[in-house]
Amino acid sequence: MEMSRGVVKDALRLGLLLVAFVFALSACGGGGGAAGGGGGGAEVEGEQAEARTLPEYGDLSPGKYTTDEFKPAFSFEVIGEGWVVGGAEERDVLDMKLGAEGPLLSFVNEQRVFDPSRPRDLVAVSAPEDLAAWLRRHPYLRTDDPRPVTVGGVEGVRLDATVADVPASECGETCLGLYEVSPDIDWVLYEEEKVRFIVLEDVGGERVTIGVAAPAADFEEFLPKAQQVIDTVEWEGT
């Protein structure tokens, strides 16, 4: 089952861009054999690699990245192996997954949401001012109470939710459409999934919703791995 939240409604993008990052490792060439002088390969503090922009497709090797298209701009650090780009970075969505078909960590700047009273038709309406309250009232989500949270120095709330039974809709028989990210991309969930929403209402004047989504049976194992990345987020200009 396709787990991407960026469901492209028209033609899929063709081609695959493979981006290779090559790091030059230099050995310290000091001679002389001084006692205790075996630390020639030690990294000097502050000489870490600069943040890289995200590749269009492919693996995300450990290290620091910065957004190129998504607004508001931010940087984050990939910790551990196995992360891949979940779809092309857009103005309003950035997805990354743990494995090609694995669970998802998503950053969304949603401008429009799907009317929950018409889930079959995926009718997009303007996003509410209080998205956390909207998620709590959603008839196809079972949510817990919101709790305060801070990401990159910006305060917000988090709430965990599971997807209840959903009627068949334009995005599939077990698919629940939540946001219209763009005219071509919908952000969706599936039955039997669990998701943590982190809603930051004011990141430099814009809202960002972070989604951590996985099959319910895998959620607790995936959550700390996603949280490691979230903990490194730094918002540009805040």
CA dist., res. 219 & res. 223, Å (int): 6
Answer for the pair 92, 184: CB distance below 8 angstroms, yes or no. no
CA dist., res. 117 & res. 36, Å (int): 72
Nearest to 122 by CA among 130, 110, 113: 113
Nearest to 77 by CA among 90, 61, 93: 61
Token pair of 13 as six digits: 């993008």
DSSP characters for 187-204?
A: EEEETTEEEEEEEEEEET
- Predicted pLDDT at 51: 84
- Predicted pLDDT at 238: 72
CA dist., res. 186 & res. 134, Å (int): 18
Reported as a single tens digit per residue, the pLDDT across 35-53 is 333 333 333 344 356 889 8
- Predicted pLDDT at 45: 40
The end-to-end CA distance of the chain, in Å, is: 38
* Burial label, 2 (beta-carbon count in 10 A; 0-12, 13-18, 19+): exposed
* Burial label, 206 (beta-carbon count in 10 A; 0-12, 13-18, 19+): middle
* Burial label, 100 (beta-carbon count in 10 A; 0-12, 13-18, 19+): exposed
Is residue 238 classed as helix, strand or coil in its secondary structure?
Answer: coil
CA dist., res. 50 & res. 17, Å (int): 22
- Predicted pLDDT at 47: 37
Is residue 231 classed as helix, strand or coil in its secondary structure?
Answer: coil
Token pair of 117 as six digits: 């009273």
- Predicted pLDDT at 48: 52
CA dist., res. 235 & res. 238, Å (int): 6
Residues of the chain falling short of pLDDT 70: 1-49
Q: C-alpha angle 175/226/154, rounded to 5°?
A: 100
